[in-house]
Structure 1
Amino acid sequence: MENQSQRGTPTKYKPEYAAIARQYCLMGATDIDLGKQFGVSEKTINNWKKQYPDFLQSVKEGKLIADMNVAEAFYKRCIGFEHHEVTREGNAPFNPSTGGYDKALLSVTKVVTKYIPPDAGAALNWLKNRQPEHWRDKVHIDLAAEIDLTMNLGDSEG
């Protein structure tokens, strides 16, 4: 008698997929995107998450880290932030294969701290989601309407 586990199509899953999935999730990949990368359906990705704990953990970690980075960047946009702009100069030759200059041959000539002001749109979006009872768009719909109806209930000629 054939063993139950021997039936069906063999899995396409490989142990190295866990690390690859984590990297793709760090770049914002969804389960559908992972399926495309591995040549399988979203349903198969969900099955792999159930069958392979390492794969599930890698996907969760990648998505969590990506979400935290985006949340931090969005928060900075809401409140404003400072960043350092570095200017480098020197005689480095242009490298056509990289499309740039060799930074190792350039020296830092100045560092300027720039302030990026808060983005009101980002802040409002944040508040609408965090405190919808105070910040959601209020829409007033006037349901009152006038109806002019004339009815003739007399005998009709027939």
Structure 2
Amino acid sequence: MDIVNKLGLVEGWKRDGLTDEQIARNLGVSKHTLIKWKKNIPDFLDAIKKGKEVSDYELENALHKRAVGYYYEEETVTNKGDVVKIKKYEHANPTSLIFALKNRLPHKYRDKVEQEITNRNIEINIGDYVDDD
């Protein structure tokens, strides 16, 4: 197979979020073959990396927009039948904001607080026990 001619497809599939296994299936090869290509064909590995970088960047931008809020335009039809553009605002999404903060500033916004546990030897003396029953 001439994989060099398919680098654009591979990059696009990775950009669309496909896994290596799915890309291998699309190319009609095993995942093992795909791994060998990544090791032995620098252009193939570059296509995989480039597609993933674009996808990661788009996801980061989408998360950022949802976390801080954003303006967008929407077309609507008036009562008279005219199509007009309306500017709307999507408020910040608290879940997206929390997720972003926990991942970008984990030292400041983590769920679990780590506590240092120190070993202490404590001796407990219990007096004589008498069972009268």
TM normalised by structure 2 equals 0.74
Which has the higher Rg, Structure 1 or Structure 2? Answer: 1
Trace 1:32-43 onto structure 2 (pairs within 5 A): 32-43=21-32
Secondary structure at the aligned position of 2:72 is classed as strand
Q: Which residue of 2 aligns with 1:5?
A: none
Q: 2: distance between equivalents of 1:140 and 1:56?
A: 39
**What do the CA deviations read for 1:54-92 (whole angstroms, capped 9, x no partner)?**
222211111111110111011000000011112379xxx
Q: Report % sequence identity.
A: 31
Q: Which residue of 1 aligns with 2:55?
A: 66
Trace 1:121-136 onto structure 2 (pairs within 5 A): 121-136=95-110
Runs of 4+ in 1 over 6 A off after TM superposition: none
Q: Where does the alignment leave 5 or more consecutive residues of structure 2 unmatched?
A: 118-128
Secondary structure at the aligned position of 1:33 is classed as helix
**What do the CA deviations read for 1:95-144 (whole angstroms, capped 9, x no partner)?**
xxxxxxxxxxxxx7210111000011111111111111211113689x9x
User: Using a 3 Å threshold, how does the CA distance of structure 1 residues 88 and 54 change in structure 2: closer, same or farther?
Assistant: farther
Aligned residues: 116
What CA RMSD, in Å, does the superposition of the two structures yield over aligned residues? 2.7
Q: Which moved more, 1:71-80 or 1:126-135?
A: 126-135
Q: Which residue of 2 aligns with 1:116?
A: 90
Q: Which residue of 2 aligns with 1:27?
A: 16
Deviation at 1:15, TM superposition (A): 2.2
